[in-house]
Structure 1
Amino acid sequence: MAEGFIQSTNQKRCEEDLGNEYFMNLLSRSFSQDVKRDYTGDIVGCKMHDLIHDLAQFVAKDEYLLIKEKKEESTKDTIRHLSYDVLREDWEVPTSFLEFERLRTMLLLTHSFLCRMDHPVFDLVASKLKFLRVLNLSNSYMTKISKSIGKLKHLRFLDLSSNNIKQVPRTITKLHNLQTLNLGWNSSIRELPADISKLVSLRHLNLTCCNELERMPSNLGQLTSLQTLTNFVVDEREMHEKKASTRISELVELNNLRGSLTISGLKRLRSNPEEVESAKLKEKRHLQALSLYWDPFLFPSGEVSKNASDELILERLRPHHTIKGLLIKRFCGERLPDWIGNLVELRFLGLMDCSYLRSLPEGLRNLRSLETLSIHGCPFSADDVRQNFPHIPYVDII
């Protein structure tokens, strides 16, 4: 998508669906093989046949370049896609690649070694490589993003995952063509730019394992093209007097969401459980997996006590009946809602630290697609669960 290789003539079909069709056609012709799938059945990895790989390298030799350390660099004007294969921990990003001023792609393959893209080098990238569409700086141990990122006007795909970034500069919102922003595994990020709604082309926002994220930016709900939003943190509105709070109702218009969504901090809604219904999760028919955390972060925050409001909250968080994965953590009610028994395509159900649950829904007997029931920190014995729900192939209880 970022390179413009997917062209749709049908406005009703999104580029993601068309790209998936391309991939499945290649798979059927053995261009790709050995696919790996997640528990929802989606393909998450594959291999390319050696002969196909050799052919691809031959066909693309004038446009693609892989530079390894100590290897003489090419200066061909035709190079559009560049990768650096970094093998040493003390390697520094050279500036010689700036000769390729027509670059569309720049990948830094660091293998998790210490490789710094400091501000002076980044500023050079932003000033010289103005036509970049794809920039991958994952695993580069970055702690800050240069404000000059806003100069890359044509950028469509930006991967800053697995770094030590604490703050995303506001200038990133100048990237009006940006479709994919991957900030996953930056555990120190606390907030996103307040005016993120200016990223009008954004379709994929990956915040996986951004565990310190305190709130979502206001007007996030204006990004109605979003198909990926991995995390949504419920705001504690009595905090931050100077900043507009983000309500869970920001999710109401995001009906194109796919993949996995985690909503955390649900205990902050106990004083107003009616507000939860405004999220309209049951209208998000493309979602594959939903995780519901009552704590604001992935880790427990102190002792919990029974709370009847949690049952009202969970009742109103009913997802579309085609969801395939559901995880509930730190829920403090006594019973789960009946709608769980209507999730006819559910394959995975996880319950973690739900200390006050008295029983499991009888509707679980109707879920013939359910393959895994994982229960950790809940008052149920393995023997009782297996006896009452013998049709579930794998039951994991700790």
Structure 2
Amino acid sequence: MDAVAGFSEGIIDPCHLLEQVKCLRVLSFKFFSLEEGLLHDSIGELIHLRYLDLSGAPVMTLPESLSFLYNLQTLKLRSCRNLKSLPTNMQNLVNLRHLDIQGTSLEEMPKGMSKLQDLQFLSHYIVGKHDENGVGELGGLAHLHGSLYIVKLENVKNGGEAWNARMAEKIHLDTLYLRWSSFKESEVCDSQSEKDVLDKLHPHKDLKVLGIFDYRGTMFPDWVGHSSYHNMTELNLRGCKNCWVLPSLGQLPSLEYLRLEGFDMVKKIGAEFYKADGTHHHHQETPFRSLKILHIENMPCLEEWESFECGDDDHAPFPQLEQLWIWNCPKLRGDLPTFL
């Protein structure tokens, strides 16, 4: 009871507490003010622990003894904004199934994450610069479910490395976000290499939500917008400043929400936007036939939005459109397509 009383008053004496709860299976320090932002080393003695929640705690570092918790299945670190690294031997937590690191300040993942083969939920993966913590470590995580946010993709050296992530095999993911770090205009990027990396990161065909942020290539690979992604309902493309043409998105059959933002080089929304070959053949499916919301924002060079000559009203694009947002496109002429 003393331990419980200590929790209710927000006062934590870790040594005293952990001596009494050696068989503890669930432990939460959620939003507790840990002394000096530290989790005590003795946490590693709770070898029966299955669930540990540190969400919102001002923890700055995690003790290496955390990697002794071989039975741990859930580790929640959401909104631990001061946390910059995970224990170096995280790969020892072989029974871990849920790892939430959203809202932390982690700079990269620890080495050997591919050994956590029972992992079913991973909120974020921060790509490191070395093979042992690079994007290829995702290849061993075949059972990921729900959503995944991959960041610092500029650290992926080539398409072969990206292919090792085996994203197309992660059939239980329904949401995928891919982000490159923003870069200075003076930086030189190999556009073909950038495109190859994104090409090899293509997800499985049943994905529902996709976001691509700060992509540095000049063109998108063909899988982005391919009609085989029949379940995709939401697509976000933002900060792709080097791209000079929008990908072909009109043949995504279930797409309901589309956001295009920060395409600094795009001057024209042309026929290729509606269909991959950029032609107006009538036998094709109605472009954007399920789209309800379209956002076009921060495109300073956009001048023209070309119409799509469909021949009859039954095949005009955007038959379900409910909301159209055009924001900060100062050069766009007012002669928008007639079907709008």
Q: 2:173 aligns with which of 259, 282, 287?
A: 287
Which residue number corresponds to residue 117 of structure 2?
Answer: 224
Which residue number corresponds to residue 369 of structure 1?
Answer: 254
**Percentage identity across aligned positions?**
31
Which one-letter code corresponds to 2:169 in the other structure? E
Which residue number corresponds to residue 130 of structure 1?
Answer: 22
Which one-letter code corresponds to 2:110 in the other structure? P
Q: 2:199 aligns with which of 312, 315, 318?
A: 315
Which residue number corresponds to residue 146 of structure 2?
Answer: 259
Which residue number corresponds to residue 97 of structure 1?
Answer: 4
Aligned CA distance change for structure 1 residues 301 and 160 (closer, same or farther; 3 Å): farther
Give the root-mean-square deviation of aligned CA atoms: 2.5
Is 2:89 the counterpart of 1:195?
A: yes
C-alpha contact (below 8 Å) 2:251/2:288 kept by paired residues: no
Where in structure 2 are the equivalents of 1:152-191 lying within 5 Å?
152-191=46-85
C-alpha contact (below 8 Å) 1:219/1:246 kept by paired residues: yes
C-alpha contact (below 8 Å) 1:127/1:151 kept by paired residues: no
Q: 1:351 aligns with which of 237, 242, 245?
A: 237
Where in structure 2 are the equivalents of 1:200-279 lying within 5 Å?
200-210=94-104, 212-237=105-130, 245-269=132-156, 271-279=157-165
Supply the distance in 2 between the matched residues of 1:96 and 1:229 (Cα, whole angstroms): 32
Supply the distance in 1 between the matched residues of 2:262 and 2:27 (Cα, whole angstroms): 42
C-alpha contact (below 8 Å) 2:3/2:17 kept by paired residues: no
C-alpha contact (below 8 Å) 2:47/2:70 kept by paired residues: yes
SS of residue in 1 equivalent to 2:19: helix
Supply the distance in 2 between the matched residues of 1:96 and 1:161 (Cα, whole angstroms): 20
Which one-letter code corresponds to 1:394 in the other structure? I
Supply the distance in 2 between the matched residues of 1:146 and 1:397 (Cα, whole angstroms): 49
**TM-score, length-scaled by structure 2:** 0.74
SS of residue in 1 equivalent to 2:294: strand
Which residue number corresponds to residue 393 of structure 1?
Answer: 292
Where in structure 2 are the equivalents of 1:62-73 lying within 5 Å?
none
Question: Which whole-Å deviations, capped at 9, do the CAs of 1:181-214 have from their partners, x for residues lacking one?
Answer: 001111222221111121121001111122x212
Query: Structure 2 stretches of 5 or more lacking a match?
Result: 275-286, 298-340
Which residue number corresponds to residue 309 of structure 2?
Answer: none
Which residue number corresponds to residue 31 of structure 2?
Answer: 139
Supply the distance in 1 between the matched residues of 2:158 and 2:231 (Cα, whole angstroms): 31
Is 2:215 the counterpart of 1:331?
A: yes
| Deviation (angstroms), 1:179 | 0.5
SS of residue in 1 equivalent to 2:140: coil
| Deviation (angstroms), 1:125 | 2.1
C-alpha contact (below 8 Å) 1:305/1:332 kept by paired residues: no
Is 2:246 the counterpart of 1:360?
A: yes
Supply the distance in 1 between the matched residues of 2:138 and 2:294 (Cα, whole angstroms): 33
Which one-letter code corresponds to 2:195 in the other structure? E
Question: Which whole-Å deviations, capped at 9, do the CAs of 1:41-68 have from their partners, x for residues lacking one?
Answer: xxxxxxxxxxxxxxxxxxxxxxxxxxxx
| Deviation (angstroms), 1:369 | 1.6
| Deviation (angstroms), 1:360 | 2.8
**TM-score, length-scaled by structure 1:** 0.64
Q: Report the count of equivalent residues.
A: 276
Supply the distance in 2 between the matched residues of 1:180 and 1:190 (Cα, whole angstroms): 19
Which one-letter code corresponds to 1:268 in the other structure? N
Question: Which whole-Å deviations, capped at 9, do the CAs of 1:309-346 have from their partners, x for residues lacking one?
Answer: 21111000011111111111111112212112132211
Which one-letter code corresponds to 1:217 in the other structure? P
Aligned CA distance change for structure 1 residues 155 and 268 (closer, same or farther; 3 Å): same
| Deviation (angstroms), 1:281 | 0.4
| Deviation (angstroms), 1:273 | 3.2
Query: Structure 1 stretches of 5 or more lacking a match?
Result: 1-74, 76-94, 100-107, 110-114, 238-243
Which residue number corresponds to residue 151 of structure 1?
Answer: 45
C-alpha contact (below 8 Å) 2:253/2:288 kept by paired residues: no
C-alpha contact (below 8 Å) 1:381/1:397 kept by paired residues: no
